[in-house]
Amino acid sequence: MAETVEPQSRQLVERPFGKCIDAKRIGGVADQGSRLMLFLRDRRMLSAQLEKGCSPREFYQGFYMEPSEDGLLCVNRDRLMSRSGAKCKVARLHQMVLETVE
């Protein structure tokens, strides 16, 4: 008798991430509601929560930042600048991970 295997669903969940990321690793960006999604060149995805009063929608066309000496984008240190003129710091970074839901 063959065993029936139920398909498992998967969902994206936020997991803790460090305070900094090498800015050269960021390959793309998208706004996702209250978060800014950072797509890394190694196929990982991070969610960035911006400081209070900043909207991720301001960064839908991407962003630039003044390079720091260490080349890192760090929480509560570096400012992202949108093409429309908004300037915001990243308040938190989380890695987005696919997890199986039973």
Tell me the residue type at 21.
I
Please give the structure tokens belonging to residue 89: 């710091």
Note the Cα 26 to chain centre separation in Å.
Answer: 9
Whether the model pTM is above 0.85: no
How does pLDDT run across 9-25, given as a tens digit for each residue? Answer: 989 899 999 999 999 99
What is the distance of C-alpha 44 from the center of its chain?
9
pLDDT at 33: 84
pLDDT at 2: 63
pLDDT tens column, 36-77 = 999 999 999 999 999 999 999 988 788 888 888 999 999 999
